Structure 1
Amino acid sequence: MAFPAPPHVQSAQAQVAAALQQVEGKPVDLLTVPWTEVETSIPKLLGGAFNPNDPNHQGLALGLAGALAERLGKEHNAFWFVNRDSPEGASLGFPEVPIVLSPFGEVMNALVSGKLARLDEVAAGIRRTLGEARFGAAGNRPKLGPAEYQRMVDPGFMQFLVVDPAKAQKALDTKPDALARDIREALGRANQLPAEVRQQFEGQVVAVLQQMDATKTLAQQVEVAPRIAELMIHLYASQGNTGAAQNEFWGQLILPLLFIGAPQSFPPVDEEEVGAFNQGVPALELFVDVVPHAVQAPEDGLLGAFDRSEVGLVHPSFERAGVQRFLKLKTDRLKPLLEQFDANQMVDAVRRFTKYMEEKAGKGAPPNPQNEEMLKAATVLLTDLKRAVTETKGELCLRQITEADAMSEQVVAVVRQALNAPRIILA
């Protein structure tokens, strides 16, 4: 494959192959043997029927998922890509047509139904779709790779929103056809957007709303299109928001800076930390690693800033949505820190820490443009968060989005403005 299977999938696949060899008394090639033959060996491996809630049985499914992915890789050049929404932590993509497949999910469904041959049906469906694409317009499209799929699918970015709960409830209580009409009209008023951008937004959002059950409210069918439901809350109920940044940037750098504050002195550093500084590790990263928090942060929780008791659903209907990517947060711990936050003081503290490290290293800091970029981004995002929490009324929420979503945030802002702008009605 162009992108190898995750290590835990490779390990599970090797364990299943070894277990099959042991029970059958001969090697079993999981890449060529018919799935119907594999199915006859499963009761021997498990000592009975498949139980989807048994971790050992899930391990079997993960191993078979690796084999399914490898078969599809050999036949169609399929590849793994990072996808945090998937149970495996990765999904399978195809270069010719945007197809996202969870091999683990397909194997679990087949094992639960007691018909592993369903995997042949999955493969046949993919074969048919790719065959049609080769003879259609899709055949002229640029090939897709793991990076393109990850940008489209993996929720690797986060942004904070302040949501008006009454407006969120109203949007969720609305039927999707009404939302579709409303958004289409807003797109018509958003003249600053190029026509192709408006058309793309309509195809990605309005078209999905129109395909939903028009007799039910959005809240009654959140599980059908949870990402669209999240977007409706953002469009109709957001009162303020931060920019989007990678999950790791928020959790490992930005929020720790808030808990550290702007110390006047710094703790002793050891040879390892001085060595890292000399080797070009950004001073900002060392600042976060070395300097203790001025205020205690939760030891275990979301982003190292929110205790589990401080995290909830943005709306009860999202209980049916599966993976939760839109969360409501309590701000009792964060709000005092944000009220005291001063961007200039934080930057000054990092600058003083850099000089402190230069003194310990006996030489100046190596040139590192990345350090300045990270410091600027952290300053902007923390200022955004302070403004959202301290100056805007509503509930603080956290939204996990894809890189493609993050890149389209300016378009969403224009549509949101058009939705909320006063409308002139001529009598």
Structure 2
Amino acid sequence: MSEPATQAHPVPQHVHNAQMQVAAALEQATGAPVDLLKAPWAEIEPAIAKLTGGPFQVNQPEHQTIALGLAGAFALRLIQEHQAFWFPNRDSPEGATLGFPEAIIMLSPFGAVMDSLAQGKLARLEDLAADIRRSLGQARFGANPAQALGGQAPKLTPVDYQRLFDPGFLQFVVLDTKKAATALETKPDGLARDVRNALGRTQPPLPPEARQQFEGQIVQSLQRLDTTKSLIDQAERAPRLAELMAHLFGTVGGTGSAPEDFWHDLVLPLLFIGTPASFPPLDDEELEMFRQGADPLPLFVDMVPHAHKAPDEGLLGAFEMSDIGLVHQGFGRVGALRLIRINAARIQPLLEQFDPAKTAETLQRFTEYVAKAAGKPATESPQGKEMLQAALTLLSDLKRSVTQVEGGVLALRRLTEAEAASEQALAVVRKALQGSIILTA
């Protein structure tokens, strides 16, 4: 694993700002600077009480800002001691999470501080730091013979953590809600048996290492749950597992997966722009960007107005918040969902009109238009061609999902990059499962 560039993933700006704000407020309240990086947390706690003016209130924004500032200080202590680092994570309240290079340990400093303040025991952060120190010591000297002999084990980087844990990829799926509900309302031991049986029926057969991974990550996770309750009744305990079972048992169609930014910035704007007959004038900056080698596709979505009105805000610039719902009411108890129901009525007419060949032809006309205005011949780059083809494929998949696949509703999945990479193997298991499902209650 490659070493990250210096400051490649610095402290999130809002965390840093909150830390500076809390430090200044503490100095004003106590009349002297408070060293948030070295002072024992038990000594800092009375000063925090002066800021809160009483018990810590988890739902009060001012108190949350204090917690965020302390989280920045707690994280910086761990960064200095263990070379920990922030990495982007959409599931985290801070928008980022702390990772460690020598073992897979994820920590939300904000969550840790919130819990400690809510219990009136900020010193619990000392205990948490000690637990991390102990876990890293065990990883460093207990589990790796090469390190015991003086060898160098590969260190994890922010990029590794982001790939494994940040759900930055999106996939639209068509979900048969009845099949999904049946699976979710089944007890986990029955689901474990069905999944294990499906692993033996896959065509083509799964490689042994892939089957072992499914056994370890899915079957054994199901077996660790309470066998007297349905899976959906335990969704708060295992939300990702419940969502995965809904996908495995209920998905009957869908698109490929792609980074969220690709959907938001390129794919869905193409749908709302349509195939205009003419294009707006170009300014000098846009022409210079083209002369410098900018790809026509991003210029197209930036310059050409939408032919169809898109929401001013909302999900992916395409869906109002009212278009979003639950795939099962039991998910209402889960905080951060990665599988949500989407009302496709807003985009269905646009998808019915979508023609990939006409869109490609429109992009070609736009490219010629810009090239003529810039006085520079258009040269097609392999990256630009691949980007356009990927966007058209995703929109074609979405059109088929919304207009042709019957018996389901549109849903949106969030995946990590690692999960997106394993989706092909997951589809093989899903096909085996749905080929002969016998859910054991």
Q: Shorter chain as normaliser: what TM range? A: over 0.9
Residue number in structure 1 paired with 2:157? 145
Q: For residues 320-365 of structure 1, what are the alpha-carbon distances to aligned partners after superposition, in whole Å with 9 as ceiling and x for unaligned? A: 1111221111111211111111111111100110000001101113
The separation in 2 between residues aligned to 1:4 and 1:379, in whole angstroms, is 35
Residue number in structure 2 paired with 1:161? 173
Is 2:62 the counterpart of 1:56?
Answer: yes
The separation in 2 between residues aligned to 1:42 and 1:204, in whole angstroms, is 42
The separation in 2 between residues aligned to 1:138 and 1:222, in whole angstroms, is 35
Residue number in structure 1 paired with 2:75? 69
Give the direction of change, closer, same or farther, for the CA distance of 1:240–1:354 in structure 2 (3 Å limit): same
Give the direction of change, closer, same or farther, for the CA distance of 1:354–1:139 in structure 2 (3 Å limit): farther
Alpha carbons 1:177, 1:209 under 8 Å: kept: yes
The separation in 2 between residues aligned to 1:330 and 1:423, in whole angstroms, is 28
Alpha carbons 2:239, 2:337 under 8 Å: kept: no
Q: How does 1:309-348 map to 2 (within 5 A)?
A: 309-348=322-361
Q: For residues 2-32 of structure 1, what are the alpha-carbon distances to aligned partners after superposition, in whole Å with 9 as ceiling and x for unaligned? A: 6321011111111111222222222221111
Is 2:409 the counterpart of 1:395?
Answer: yes
Q: For residues 395-423 of structure 1, what are the alpha-carbon distances to aligned partners after superposition, in whole Å with 9 as ceiling and x for unaligned? A: 00011111111000011001001112249
Alpha carbons 1:280, 1:368 under 8 Å: kept: no
Unmatched 5+ residue regions in structure 1?
Answer: none
The separation in 2 between residues aligned to 1:299 and 1:18, in whole angstroms, is 38
Is 2:279 the counterpart of 1:245?
Answer: no
The separation in 2 between residues aligned to 1:242 and 1:47, in whole angstroms, is 52
Residue number in structure 2 paired with 1:375? 388
Match 2:421 to one of 396, 407, 420: 407
Unmatched 5+ residue regions in structure 2?
Answer: 1-5, 147-152
Q: For residues 138-185 of structure 1, what are the alpha-carbon distances to aligned partners after superposition, in whole Å with 9 as ceiling and x for unaligned? A: 565521110000011101000000000110110111111111111111
Residue number in structure 1 paired with 2:431? 417
Match 1:353 to one of 366, 389, 413: 366
C-alpha displacement of 1:366: 5.3
Letter in 1 for 2:166: D
The separation in 2 between residues aligned to 1:156 and 1:10, in whole angstroms, is 23
Letter in 2 for 1:414: V
Alpha carbons 1:278, 1:366 under 8 Å: kept: no
SS of 1:332's equivalent? Answer: helix
Match 2:236 to one of 192, 202, 223: 223
Letter in 1 for 2:431: Q
Residue number in structure 1 paired with 2:274? 261
Residue number in structure 1 paired with 2:135? 129
The separation in 1 between residues aligned to 2:340 and 2:434, in whole angstroms, is 23
Residue number in structure 2 paired with 1:9? 15
SS of 1:189's equivalent? Answer: coil
Residue number in structure 1 paired with 2:124? 118
SS of 1:160's equivalent? Answer: strand
Give the direction of change, closer, same or farther, for the CA distance of 1:119–1:222 in structure 2 (3 Å limit): same
Match 1:27 to one of 15, 28, 33: 33
Task: Give me the identity figure in percent.
Answer: 59
Residue number in structure 1 paired with 2:226? 213
The separation in 1 between residues aligned to 2:196 and 2:155, in whole angstroms, is 31
Letter in 1 for 2:200: G
Alpha carbons 2:171, 2:255 under 8 Å: kept: yes
Alpha carbons 2:327, 2:411 under 8 Å: kept: yes
The separation in 2 between residues aligned to 1:421 and 1:314, in whole angstroms, is 22
Letter in 2 for 1:228: L
Structure 2-normalised TM-score?
0.93
Letter in 1 for 2:313: D
Is 2:49 the counterpart of 1:43?
Answer: yes
